[in-house]
Amino acid sequence: MSDIVLPVVGSSEAGGRPVLGFTCYPELRPFSTGDGDVNLVCGGCGFILVAGSTGTAQRPSMLIRCPSCGRYNDPVPQTA
């Protein structure tokens, strides 16, 4: 299992882009859990946003708002 720390984007950069997030959180837990070997981790606080991703195929194209710290994470893979 490896962790991928997502880059955090500011609210101005997030403007206009769809955001995956809930307005209320009954509990802090990953948005989705799969059987892959990659965790997508919040770049702001280290919270696991997506557990068990199998890679880029399962990454959402929208921003992910961290339920723990409220920052916007960009899951789009960066070209190294």
Cα separation, 33 vs 12, in Å, equals 29
Q: Is 19 an interacting residue with respect to Zn ion (CB under 5 A)?
A: no
Minimum distance from CB of 27 to Zn ion (Å)?
A: 15
What the block records as the tokens of 42 is: 């919040």
Rounded-to-5 percentages of helix, strand, coil across the chain: 10, 30, 60
User: In this complex, which beta carbon is closest to Zn ion, that of residue 38 or of residue 72?
Assistant: 72
Q: Within positions 45 to 74, which residues make up the interface with Zn ion, using CB under 5 A?
A: 45, 47, 66, 68-69
Q: Which residues bind Zn ion (CB under 5 A)?
A: 42, 44-45, 47, 66, 68-69
